[in-house]
Amino acid sequence: MATGDRVGAPPLWPVEARLAALLPDLLVFRKPRGSEPELATAQGVLLGVHVTGFTALMDRFSLSCKSEHDMDKLAHIFSYYISDIVEHVLCFGGDILNITGNVLLALWTVEQNQLSDIITLVAKCSLEIQEKFGIYHTREGQDLQLKIGLSAGRISQVIVGDEQRQYLLVIGRDVDGVQLAQRLAQANEIVLSWNCWKLCEQYMFEVEIMREDEAVKLRDMRISDPFDFDEHFDKCLDYLPHYRTSADILRTALELDPDSALEQTLRKHIMKSLLKKIDEGQPMEYISEFRTVTTVLVSLELHKTEWMLHLCHLIQEAALYISTVIEKGGGQLSRIFMFDKGCMFLCVFGLPGDKKPDECAHALESSFSIFSFCWENLAETKLVSISITNGPVFCGMVGAIARHEYTVIGPKVSLLARMITAYPGLVSCDEVTYLRSMLPAYNFKKLPEKMMKNISNPEKMYEYLGHRRCIMFGKRHLARERNQNHPLLDREKELEAFQMAQQRCLHLKKGQAVLYEGGKGYGKSQLLAEINFLAQKEGHRGLPVTTVTFIRVLPLKLKEADSKQRFYAIQTLMAIFFEIDTCPACYRQECLFKQLHGMVEEPLHCLFNDLFFVKFPLSFRVSHMDDLARQKKVKACFFQVLQKAVRETPLIFLIDEAQYMDAASWEFLGTLLSSVPIIMVMTLTPTFTLCGWAQHFLQSPQAILVPISKLAETSLLRMACWELGVVSIPQELQIYLLRRCFGNPFYCEVLCQDLLSKNILLFHDLQKEEEETSKWETLSANAMKSTMYSISPASSEDQDLYVCTVKDDVNLDTVLLPPLLKEIAVNQLDQLNPEEQLLVKCAAVIGHSFHIDLLQHLLPGWSESKLLQVLRALVDIHVLCWCSKSQELPAEPILVPSSIEIIEQTKEKRKPDTASPLRLREGLSLLQTEDLEFGVPLLREAAWELWPKAQQVALHLECACFLQDLACRCGSCQGGDFVPFHRFAICSAKSSSGTSRFCSYRDTGSILTRVITDKLQLPSPQDSFQFQTKSPRSQEAFTNEHYRTEEEFLDQVNWRLAQTNLEKDMLTTKPCHCDEILKLVLSPLTQHCLVIGETTCAFYYLLEAAAASLDLSDNYMAFFYLRKASSLLGQPSAFSYLKKHKVKICQFEEATFCRLRSEVCFNMGQITLAKKLARQALRLLKRSFPWTWFGVIFQTFLEKYWRSCSQSQPLNNTSENKKKLAVLQQRVHCLSLLWQLYNLEATASSRRFACLATLMQKNSAKEFASEAQI
Separation of alpha carbons 1195 and 1202, rounded Å: 10
Q: Which ranges in 817-858 belong to alpha helices (H)? A: 819-829, 834-846, 852-858
Separation of alpha carbons 132 and 125, rounded Å: 11
Q: Can you say whether the dihedral through the CA atoms of 21, 27, 31, 34 is positive or negative?
A: negative
Residue 292 three-state SS: strand
| For helices 54-62 and 67-91, angle between their N-to-C axes, nearest 10 degrees | 160
C-beta of residue 874 within 8 angstroms of C-beta of residue 836? yes
C-beta of residue 45 within 8 angstroms of C-beta of residue 152? yes
Cα 770 to chain center, whole Å? 39
Which among 731, 752, 757 has a CA at the least distance from the CA of 741?
A: 752
Phi, psi torsion values for 104, nearest 5 degrees = -115, 135
Total Cβ atoms within 10 A of residue 1048:
12
Q: Where are the beta strands (DSSP E) in 598-658?
A: 651-656
Cα 252 to chain center, whole Å? 38
pLDDT at 108: 94
DSSP one-letter string for 773-801 = PS-GGG--HHHHGGGSEE-PPPS-TTS--
Separation of alpha carbons 648 and 17, rounded Å: 80
Which among 514, 518, 517, 492 has a CA at the least distance from the CA of 501?
A: 514
C-beta of residue 969 within 8 angstroms of C-beta of residue 978? yes
pLDDT at 1180: 85
Residue 837 three-state SS: helix
Residue 332 three-state SS: strand
Which among 1170, 1175, 1177 has a CA at the least distance from the CA of 1155?
A: 1177
Angle among Cα 185, 191, 197 to the nearest 5 degrees reads 155
Separation of alpha carbons 839 and 286, rounded Å: 11
CA-to-CA separations, 295 to 298, 395, 615, in angstroms, rounded:
10, 12, 46
C-beta of residue 806 within 8 angstroms of C-beta of residue 760? yes
Residues 6+ apart with CB under 8 A from 50: 102, 103, 146, 147, 148, 149, 182, 185
Separation of alpha carbons 414 and 411, rounded Å: 5
Separation of alpha carbons 513 and 699, rounded Å: 11
pLDDT at 994: 36
CA-to-CA separations, 432 to 322, 499, 893, 1125, in angstroms, rounded:
23, 42, 52, 41
Which among 1232, 1146, 1241, 1138 has a CA at the least distance from the CA of 1185?
A: 1232
Separation of alpha carbons 81 and 75, rounded Å: 10
Which among 579, 630, 640, 585 has a CA at the least distance from the CA of 608?
A: 630
pLDDT at 5: 46
C-beta of residue 48 within 8 angstroms of C-beta of residue 103? yes
What string of H, E and C letters represents the secondary structure of 217-240? EEEEECCCCCCCHHHHHHHHHCCC
Please list the residues that pair with 221 across neighbouring strands: 205
C-beta of residue 1084 within 8 angstroms of C-beta of residue 847? yes
Separation of alpha carbons 53 and 453, rounded Å: 11
Which among 567, 508, 553 has a CA at the least distance from the CA of 702?
A: 508
pLDDT at 923: 38
Which among 316, 47, 303, 40 has a CA at the least distance from the CA of 155?
A: 40
pLDDT at 1170: 86
Separation of alpha carbons 456 and 826, rounded Å: 31
Instruction: Give, as one character, the DSSP assignment of residue 123.
Output: H
Separation of alpha carbons 601 and 963, rounded Å: 82
Q: Where are the beta strands (DSSP E) in 915-997?
A: 931-934
Separation of alpha carbons 306 and 327, rounded Å: 33
Total Cβ atoms within 10 A of residue 203:
6
pLDDT at 444: 93
C-beta of residue 802 within 8 angstroms of C-beta of residue 764? yes
Burial (0-12, 13-18, 19+ Cβ within 10 Å), 116 = middle
Phi, psi torsion values for 485, nearest 5 degrees = -85, -20
- Helical (H) or strand (E) element with 213: none
CA-to-CA separations, 105 to 57, 82, 94, 148, 183, in angstroms, rounded:
22, 12, 10, 10, 14
pLDDT at 454: 74
Residues 6+ apart with CB under 8 A from 854: 846, 917, 959, 962, 963
Report which residue type is found at 1061: N
Which among 895, 921, 900 has a CA at the least distance from the CA of 973?
A: 895
Residues 6+ apart with CB under 8 A from 121: 92, 93, 108, 232, 233, 236
Angle among Cα 897, 903, 904 to the nearest 5 degrees reads 140
* Rounded average pLDDT per 10-residue block, the chain, 1270 residues: 47 80 92 74 93 83 62 82 92 92 91 92 94 87 90 92 90 90 92 92 88 85 69 85 78 86 91 89 88 95 76 90 94 89 92 90 95 89 93 91 91 90 94 91 90 80 81 66 75 90 86 92 88 72 49 87 85 89 82 86 87 86 87 90 89 91 92 91 87 90 91 91 88 91 92 93 74 63 55 56 85 90 93 93 93 90 91 94 55 34 34 39 44 92 92 93 88 83 66 38 36 49 43 36 45 53 54 88 92 90 93 89 87 50 79 90 85 85 72 66 54 60 78 79 71 70 60
CA-to-CA separations, 485 to 663, 723, 744, in angstroms, rounded:
39, 10, 19
DSSP one-letter string for 45-110 = EEEEEEEETHHHHHHHHHTSS-HHHHHHHHHHHHHHHHHHHHHHHHHTT-EEEEEETTEEEEEEEE
C-beta of residue 537 within 8 angstroms of C-beta of residue 727? no
C-beta of residue 777 within 8 angstroms of C-beta of residue 1123? no
